[in-house]
Structure 1
């Protein structure tokens, strides 16, 4: 990112408009694809893989189990579905079917970029295939996608948000701060994002935040956030929990940061306790012969 920062600063001196265009290119496209980590290889290897076509992009999906009692897992920016490997066997032991995917531009999926609307569309397509979700588990940017999915018709009994990005505008502020963008360049970047990122949608910074329209998400929520998360600052987790005061509980950790929190044994155990507290579904009655 150092070379990107230098290029943007140099371009911004000559033309804020050109720098804004360049910044937008990096803002909505991941600069790297997450690879399967050694600790994830076993789970990744034994997943049943399938594909979806979403807006002309090939999306790879992963399933462990027969599809009954599905739990949907949504990864974050420059990440991939295998990051949930620590949950796979534990969920399977409870008779649940973990399901995840690599978003467009991530992992093994096609495309070069993605957005929260694509996350929501993938979630709806997976619901059409497997039915309502016992739970939705999301990390980082995936939390924005999860809440957009829930507001647009995806049904789940419980929601877990780990290392959440709560506010869409936080992404813009964080990106601009990391690259040291001048105010005029940031303004150009924002204008391009307004016009193109989720076009033809409007008012994207409010409407696509996880805290927007809390009346549309009426299920128990567990918010897990690490106080030492330097990617999604702890305030984002606190803001998300505060937006759902009657149904959200905040579980705070320390010393794990943004990535390690997802697979930490203490966090995994807390998430599983939360899911175990959900009432069990009654099996469908069979018709007499």
Structure 2
């Protein structure tokens, strides 16, 4: 936390003579993952799949495909991760006969882009869905938020079910936690919000899974841990209360990653029901 506060102090100092530059610097840090590239162990696992590189406006999207003869499941990982985070459930989904597709997010794994944002991630999901026509999407963390936005924007007829694992509800809450962590002053915060509006065409308060879910007809399964230190459990309650056709499963002790056999079993049952 000390390092973050020192960086925040420097950016606040920049804001005194150029709020625009401070906003650019702060948003750069917010959208630049420090982890998520594929290591040797993960590469060995992912090399068991068929690799296919898709494209969105010149940006490469790496996808991995394990073939089956039942439903097609698209797996969407979260921040500072990659498609190998699903290696615990992919073999079982294969064993059950499902085709499994995983994709690397922008600036993660083997996909392109130097920066990450949920809007671009939703476009990656759209390209993967057009290519593979999944019936189920499983999204973890911000991958869940990007999946919700994708479903809201494109209304794909093929997607019948969506699983949200530790997914955030409000972008405003995510970025507010970033502001607090960095210790940004009001001038820097306002500059970041203006930069987001100018660059992406959205107001911070308007990018909301709760708002996006109101147009989604897919059946939903929400799994969230009460001890999640990254995304508060209250987000899951809010999502569930605004998702017309959803079920909330509460866990305790699995944290944000939700790596546990019981969670996997809930996903398998939901997919096959």
- Compute the TM-score of the two structures, normalised by the length of structure 2: 0.89
1:183 to 181, 186, 211: 186
Deviation at 1:15, TM superposition (A): 2.6
Query: What is the match of residue 53 of structure 1?
Result: 55
Gaps of 5+ in 2: none
Contact in 1 for aligned 2:222/2:246 (Cα 8 Å): yes
Contact in 2 for aligned 1:36/1:82 (Cα 8 Å): no
- 1:108-123 to structure 2, matched below 5 A, reads 108-123=110-125
Deviation at 1:130, TM superposition (A): 2.0
Deviation at 1:63, TM superposition (A): 0.7
Query: What is the match of residue 286 of structure 1?
Result: none
Contact in 2 for aligned 1:159/1:221 (Cα 8 Å): yes
| CA RMSD, 1 decimal | 2.1
**How many residues are aligned here?**
268
What stretches of structure 1 move > 6 A for 4+ residues in a row?
Answer: none
C-alpha separation in 2, matches of 1:28 and 1:136:
24
- 1:1-289 to structure 2, matched below 5 A, reads 2-13=2-13, 15-16=15-16, 17=19, 18-36=21-39, 38=41, 43-65=45-67, 69-131=71-133, 133-151=134-152, 152-154=154-156, 155-196=158-199, 198=200, 201-203=201-203, 205-206=205-206, 208-244=207-243, 246-259=244-257, 261=258, 263-277=259-273
* 3-state SS in 1 of match to 2:209: coil
C-alpha separation in 2, matches of 1:145 and 1:44:
23
C-alpha separation in 1, matches of 2:197 and 2:202:
7
Gaps of 5+ in 1: 278-289
Deviation at 1:190, TM superposition (A): 1.4
1:171-223 CA-to-partner distances (Å, cap 9, x unmatched) read 21121122122222212211111211x2xx334532x3221243421122111
Query: What is the match of residue 284 of structure 1?
Result: none
C-alpha separation in 2, matches of 1:29 and 1:55:
20
Contact in 1 for aligned 2:193/2:203 (Cα 8 Å): no
Contact in 2 for aligned 1:158/1:221 (Cα 8 Å): yes
C-alpha separation in 2, matches of 1:184 and 1:146:
32
